[in-house]
Structure formats: structure tokens, C-alpha cells
Amino acid sequence: MAETIILCTADEVIEGEIKRAPLPDGTNVALYRVAGTIYATADMCTHGEASLAEEGIITGKIVECTFHFGTFDVTTGEPTGMPCEIPLKTYPVTVVDGRVQIEV
């Protein structure tokens, strides 16, 4: 059953930065603002043990993992640059009363 999780306030998600937020299962999500819209993906790179919020660089809708320079489209989770081949999990984001929430 889907559960709604409130992660932070919308103004904490800033264009050009990556915000990490914890989930109840102990994993984290990475939040991005792209052209005004907030997107959420799993925080852990699918290539290795890198936190995208800690190690990633967001440029437009592309996050680069600086461990091995792989990239993903954060709006879809699809890998866009080697060595990343496995998509990032994405979460539908809604903003309600200024709070960012996802369904997990």
C-alpha cells in the first residue's frame, strides 16, 4: 500500500543543489529542482556506494556522480552516461501547503 511521506519544505529544494531526505526504511531520497519542478530519486548511485546528494553535481536535469562520472536524468531516473546502466528509482512528488511529499 502506498504511503505518503513528507520530506521537507519546498523552499529547501534549491535549483542547482541536491537535498537528501531520509525514508522510514533507512534509505534516502535525493531531491532536485529542475526548471521550478521538484523531482525525487533514490539517493544512492546505481553503479556504486555513492550518495548523489553528497557526491553528485546537478546541471539542468542531469546529475553527475563524481565517483566515476556516470550520469542520470533526474526527471526519469534513466542513466545518460557510462558507467551507469541501471536506472535510479524515482518517486512521484507533490507539493501540498509548501511541503514536499512522495508516495512510497
Binding site for ligand FES (CB under 6 A): 45, 47-48, 50, 65, 67-68, 70, 83-84
The least CB distance from residue 55 to ligand FES, in Å, is 7
Closest to 84 in 3D by CA, of 94, 73, 92:
73
Cis, bond preceding 83 (omega within 30 deg of 0): yes
Alpha-helical regions (H) of the chain: 52-55
Q: Which residue is nearest to ligand FES (CB)?
A: 48
At closest approach, how far in Å is the CB of 43 from ligand FES? 11
Instruction: Kindly tell me which of 72 and 91 has the beta carbon lying closer to ligand FES.
Output: 72
DSSP assignment of 79-99, as one string? EEETT--SPPPEE-EEEETTE
Closest contact distance (angstroms) between CB of 49 and ligand FES is 7
